Chains A and B, each alone.
Chain A
């Protein structure tokens, strides 16, 4: 069964803290994405990747790093978290056609 698993599901950290969000897909998809979702906005693309070792910058990359270690695993790193990064984060994977799957989301709160 196609799946995208995010961890943790909830995270609270302090301003200036270091956070890593994890995403694993078992869909044999090459492409993986990190989005953030905030009230009043559609999902906004932070970073994406089309294969292990590849990284592409999205539309709202400031304050975020990402790393794709394998085809299955895509990580989002916040090295100096700020309150403006409080959001709901989604990971997604797609193939070269129209198939796309989303994770259940990670709610991050920066206090």
Chain B
């Protein structure tokens, strides 16, 4: 059973618009949650990590929230650029040690058009 669900599966926005990506999970314990950006066929680049209940982070045009009670996270991208076209992957770590696992969502494919 998939423990990390992302929505929407894909999204098309016009350059300059804002967008919101969702991540719902059932991983327990939920030690931390991280958002990655993956360009097609490339590696994963970390955007932000959330650790605590009701954490909010900001990294330039990317901002994220985490609600551990609801097991839900959002990634906001403001004023999208063409280079934001990529797959965004939500990953939940079930504890902070080596024996913990990283649980991956299947990703949201974002396409930014002119």
B-binding residues in A (CB < 8 A)? 30-31, 33, 35, 40-45, 48, 50, 88, 90, 92, 94, 96-98, 100-105, 107
Contacts and interface: CB of A to CB of B under 8 A. Distances in A.
Contacts of B42: 104-105
A72 to B, nearest CB: 16
B19 interface: no
B34 A42 contact: no
Nearest to A4: B43
Interface of B: 2, 4, 31-32, 34, 36, 41-46, 49, 51, 89, 93, 96-99, 101-107
Nearest to B45: A102
Contact of B102 (A33, A40, A104): A33
A42 B107 contact: yes
Contacts of B34: 98, 100
B44 A96 contact: no
A102 B99 contact: no
A88 B69 CA distance: 34
Given A31-B98, A42-B89, A98 B41 contact: no
Nearest to B95: A96
Contacts of B96: 96-98
Contacts of A104: 42-43
A42 B4 contact: yes
A43 B105 CA distance: 8
Nearest to A42: B104
B41 A88 contact: yes
A102 B44 CA distance: 6
Given A104-B42, A105-B41, A98 B32 contact: yes
Contacts of B103: 42
